[in-house]
Amino acid sequence: MIQPSIEIRSATSDEIPRVVSTIVAAFLTDPPARFAWPSPHDYLLAMPVATGEFAGSSFQHGTAYVSADFRGAALWLPPGVEPNGRALEKVFRDTAKPEHMDDLLATFEKMEQSHPREPHWYLPQIGVEPNAQGKGIGAALMRHALARCDHEGSLAYLEASKPQNIPFYRHHGFEVTGEIQMGSAPLVTPMLRKRRRP
């Protein structure tokens, strides 16, 4: 069966709450997020704030991509733009499970150190709300952004927070570059996509 085309576009600043809600729904079973906030109540309160610090700059740069129905979103940071690390650390210190704090902060510090030294596009968060997964929305989001990376001849980088997502990223040209495993924190897998031309 041929899938209908999935419209992907940049989200506007007025749409930030809707897009963040999609990410929060998509990351409900994300291992690092739930390591930080095992309580559903704490997760639902803190994850929107953490998303804003981790990937919120994507809205300012027009690189927060969303499906037309808001069931999927990909928050990309262009070369030279980074997550707000200090503010994200404060969110963790204020809201995350105290017993997990050291391993959580060590994981994010190692993630920061694992970025390529060359200019690159960074994908902090991509997600499709659970009821819409497996319908091609994630692939459409990925193709949309990677077409721009290829047009610019840029590297693309991400960290897979679930091992089962690695084949999806490999399908789109990413390769594993290492592993991040700090104490009792969940495994995070850095992945890099080399430059391509369209």
Residues 6 or more apart in contact with residue 73 via CB below 8 angstroms: 11, 19, 22, 23, 26, 64, 65, 66, 67, 125, 126, 127, 141
State which amino acid sits at residue 87.
A
Give the start-to-end residue ranges of the domains of the chain. 8-193
Report which of residues 196 and 30 the model is more confident about.
30
Q: Has residue 2 got a pLDDT over 50?
A: no
Q: Quick one: average pLDDT of 24-34?
A: 98
Region 8-193: CATH code: 3.40.630.30
Split at pLDDT 50, 70, 90, the class of 186 is: very high
What does the pLDDT read at residue 195?
A: 87
Global pTM?
0.94
How is residue 194 written in tokens? Answer: 């080399």
Which of 39, 19, 12, 35 has the alpha carbon at shortest distance from 128? 19
Q: What tens digit of pLDDT does each residue of 40-94 get?
A: 999 999 999 999 999 999 999 999 999 999 999 999 999 999 998 899 999 999 9
Q: CA-CA distances (angstroms) from residue 125 to 5, 57, 73, 98, 99?
A: 22, 12, 8, 24, 25
Summary mean pLDDT of the chain:
95
What tokens were used for 92? 């963790």
CB atoms under 10 Å from CB of 130, counted, come to 12
In this predicted structure, the answer to whether residue 1 has a pLDDT above a threshold of 60 is no
Cα–Cα distance for residue pair 49/30, rounded to 1 Å: 16
**Helices 85-95 and 101-113, axial angle in degrees (round to 10):** 170
CB-based burial of residue 164 (10 Å sphere; 0-12 exposed, 13-18 middle, 19+ buried)?
exposed
User: Residue 6 and residue 142: Cα distance in Å, rounded?
Assistant: 12
Tell me the residue type at 48: P
